[in-house]
Amino acid sequence: MHRSIAFLPLIALLACSPQSGTMHATEDQPTAAAGMIEDYTQTPVHIWEAEPERQSLGQLAYRGGLHIEHTDERFGGWSALEIDQDGTRLLAVSDSAYWMSAQLEWSDNGWLSGIEGIEITPLLGREGQELVGDEEDSEAIAHLGGSRYAVSFERNHRINGYDLGADHSGIHDAVGIALRLPPGAVDLPNNGGLEGMTAFDGDNILIGREYPPQDGAPYLLYYYDGQDWSDVRVASLPGFAVTSLTRYGDHIYMLERFYTQEDGTRIRIVRFPLESLAAGSLIEAELLGALEAANPVDNFEGISVIEHNGETTIVIVSDDNYNAYGNQRSLFLAFALED
């Protein structure tokens, strides 16, 4: 069944037309064909792999991490992440156009301890079709309020809206609704499109392009303030790219990624004040923590921020690029922001 969707005012305006374990399916659980992962393992990871007792990372305190391995070939490529504010329900999209819904488990002391009930299903296009080829590269997700979400795609640059239902059960048949791109976004590079997106305050939305116009130049973000689009410039470092954006409280949180074959991968977790979006001047983001060779660094592309156990808690997820050689992983890491 095709679902109808009533978006927020902004979206209506834009419409174009610490444990490891294994979960096994039981007779009462759906099989993998119905969407549920049949068998997977989750293994804790240390934030300093050579110093297991060390928990600090800049202004962040580690709150646990998991390496998820799977038997379902659809699992992986996670490029965006949304977590409900109670910290229990997770929604992600992959860059092969799949939804993942799951439940997060936390220990009594606020550590990420498990991911259960993993369910995967195709993310559908505007005609209710499964997406293939250049149509399938979904990169960012934004919660529009209620049961409504927006998903951005690159290669064929576009944004779709989806109504997933109050319990995310609509991921099985939610059909994409066309949303208008920011000015100029249709001309972005093939593999350098809209990598980050967040919506807030009713009809505000912020969208980040992956690479600056020139290496080392400021990042270019597209900001809609409820009436007009404007460009927002955020200072960058050479070689880095934007991979995810989210709003929490009075800040925008952002993931940055650096990669070369010679130097490997580096990740920066930064933030800047929400009020700076309207200032019009170059934004200098605050570095909260950086993942480098001594850490479980990978291709982190999704970020979500919640209040959990009395702490501002940041959760990030990596895109393993469906790497068959095992040198990239699907990692979920949690951090608390230290005052």
119-142: per-residue pLDDT in tens? 999 999 999 999 999 999 999 999
At 191 the pLDDT is 83
pLDDT band of 37, cuts 50, 70, 90: low
Token pair, residue 120, equals 């995967």
On the question of pLDDT at 146 being above 70, the answer is yes
3-class SS at 292? coil
CA distance 311 to 59: 13
On the question of pLDDT at 178 being above 70, the answer is yes
At 325 the pLDDT is 65
pLDDT band of 327, cuts 50, 70, 90: confident
Question: Do 99 and 149 contact (CB within 8 A), yes or no?
Answer: no
Kindly give the pairing relationship between strand 60-70 and strand 330-337.
antiparallel
Q: What pLDDT digit, counting tens, does each position of 255-264 carry?
A: 999 999 999 9
C-alpha to C-alpha distances, 83 to 111, 116, 142, 217, 313, nearest whole angstrom: 15, 14, 11, 32, 11
Token pair, residue 257, equals 């990624």
At 107 the pLDDT is 96
At 324 the pLDDT is 63
How is 152-179 classified by DSSP, letter by letter? EETTTTEEEEEE--TTSGGGGTPPPEEE
What integer is the mean pLDDT of 296-302?
96
> Residue 28 pairs with which residues in a beta bridge?
none
On the question of pLDDT at 7 being above 70, the answer is no
Token pair, residue 118, equals 């993993």
| Average pLDDT score, the chain | 88
Token pair, residue 192, equals 């350098």
More confident residue, 325 or 113: 113
Task: Give the DSSP letter of residue 277.
Answer: G
More confident residue, 334 or 86: 334
Question: Do 12 and 4 contact (CB within 8 A), yes or no?
Answer: no
Of 12-16, 150-154, 212-216, 297-301, minimum mean pLDDT range:
12-16
Token pair, residue 266, equals 């580096």
> Residue 323 pairs with which residues in a beta bridge?
none
At 16 the pLDDT is 39
Topology of the domain covering 9-17+29-337: Tachylectin-2; Chain A (2.115.10)
Question: Do 115 and 104 contact (CB within 8 A), yes or no?
Answer: yes
At 308 the pLDDT is 95
CA distance 1 to 243: 33
How is 208-232 classified by DSSP, letter by letter? EESS-SSTTSPEEEEEE-SS-EEEE
Question: Do 221 and 158 contact (CB within 8 A), yes or no?
Answer: no
What integer is the mean pLDDT of 38-60?
93
Q: CB-based burial of residue 246 (10 Å sphere; 0-12 exposed, 13-18 middle, 19+ buried)?
A: buried
What integer is the mean pLDDT of 313-318?
98
On the question of pLDDT at 333 being above 70, the answer is yes
What integer is the mean pLDDT of 154-183?
94
Kindly give the pairing relationship between strand 177-179 and strand 158-163.
antiparallel
Residue at token pair 């979400």: 149
What integer is the mean pLDDT of 228-232?
94
On the question of pLDDT at 26 being above 50, the answer is no
At 36 the pLDDT is 57
- Give percent of the chain with pLDDT exceeding 70: 88
At 203 the pLDDT is 85
C-alpha to C-alpha distances, 131 to 135, 195, 220, 238, 311, nearest whole angstrom: 6, 18, 28, 34, 39
Token pair, residue 244, equals 């995810």
At 22 the pLDDT is 34
- Give percent of the chain with pLDDT exceeding 90: 77
At 17 the pLDDT is 35
At 70 the pLDDT is 86
At 29 the pLDDT is 32
Phi, psi of 169 (to 5 degrees): -65, -20
What integer is the mean pLDDT of 20-40?
44
For residue 202, the tally of other CB atoms under 10 A from its CB is: 11
